[in-house]
Structure 1
Amino acid sequence: MVFRFLLRYLANNEQLIQRMAESYPMRRAAQMVVSIMYRSKNMAQERGIHDMTPERFKSFISFFKDNIKKEIEGVKDQMKKKPF
């Protein structure tokens, strides 16, 4: 309750928001986000992912999730087998 009130106060404090927006960490974080966005866009264009159909994209995501699950299971098995 108090936390929500404090966050609402800070979010509505225009001077605080302006000072935070002008701070170096916020500007640097924004630069990094834009850089990652452009890099991923270029990478998608190079690999032909940007013109992917929704069905193909869904299959790509499900394939990716399956691979991640398999890798996690493999790591869990290795951790169980490894003596401490």
Structure 2
Amino acid sequence: MKMELIRHTIRARETYEVKIESSLLWECALGIAAVTNTRLISHLEKPMEEWNDIKKKLSNELLKELEIVQKNNTWKALLQLLHQKEFDSLHMFVH
């Protein structure tokens, strides 16, 4: 999809190419980012109470892992890795 921008200045038009993709890996990484980044949570559609309810349903093991992610901001690394290469599966990403 191409999008043409028209500006009301003396500059020439600029054209951008936008590529839209979907991936369960991206969805998971963004979900991890949402649930572990308290500054981000306040800008999402769900209120904080719903996120807390979601966290209550998670296993202790998963909560410990999410605490590590929150403490070290490793969700950023997940997003950077996903941005570097297109992974077809979780196996490819882990490998």
- Decide: shared fold, TM above 0.5: no
Greater strand fraction, Structure 1 or Structure 2: 2
Answer 1 or 2: higher relative contact order, Cα 8 Å, separation at least 6: 2
* Structure ID, larger Rg: 1
Greater helix fraction, Structure 1 or Structure 2: 1
Q: TM-score, normalised by structure 2?
A: 0.29
